[in-house]
């Protein structure tokens, strides 16, 4: 995930990949689009999960279950820490906020980068098999 990648650069990479896919044989194109359609993630869904749910649920949407488990664990520990009056709980919450804010504001780009990488992987798999 490259949060500071200019959107124009991502758009150029996506366009280049589209041209490469369009140059494939018809059966390869069909396979590419079939596999891609089953695996692409909607940037709006990712953004909504990021905006409306605490605990890293948006990571599950992209299949990053380890990161989800870590964030949910840290959030749970901080809530229990607040209830028990531990001052370290505030440190955990501040850490989570600092980590999550950029992801919140760049959620659309993160999902598009995920989809681009997924599409590249599918393209590579199809072109190296045939």
CB proximity list for 40: less than 8 A, separation 6 or greater: 115, 118, 119
- Report residue 47 CA to chain centroid gap: 10
On whether residue 17 sits in a domain, the answer given is yes
Residue span of the structural domain in which 91 resides = 8-129
pLDDT in tens, 86-110: 989 999 999 999 998 998 899 999 9
What are 56-62's contacts with CB under 8 Å, separation 24+? 56/100, 58/103, 58/107, 62/110, 62/111, 62/114
What are 92-96's contacts with CB under 8 Å, separation 24+? 96/71
On whether residue 3 sits in a domain, the answer given is no
How many distinct structural domains can be found in the chain?
A: 1
CA distance 70 to 72: 6
- What's the predicted TM-score (pTM) here? 0.86
On whether residue 107 sits in a domain, the answer given is yes
pLDDT in tens, 31-49: 999 999 999 999 999 989 9
């Amino acid at each position: 995930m490259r949060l500071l990648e200019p959107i124009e650069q991502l758009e150029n990479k996506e366009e280049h990949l589209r041209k490469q896919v369009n140059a494939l044989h018809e059966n390869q194109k069909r396979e590419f689009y079939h596999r891609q359609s089953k695996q692409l993630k909607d940037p709006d869904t990712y953004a909504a999960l990021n905006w409306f749910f605490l605990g890293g649920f948006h990571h599950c949407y992209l299949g990053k279950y380890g990161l989800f488990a870590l964030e949910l664990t840290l959030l749970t520990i901080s809530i229990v820490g607040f209830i028990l009056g531990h001052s370290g709980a505030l440190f955990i919450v501040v850490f989570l906020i600092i980590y999550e804010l950029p992801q919140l504001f760049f959620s659309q780009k993160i999902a598009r980068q995920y989809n681009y990488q997924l599409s590249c992987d599918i393209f590579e798999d199809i072109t190296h098999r045939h």
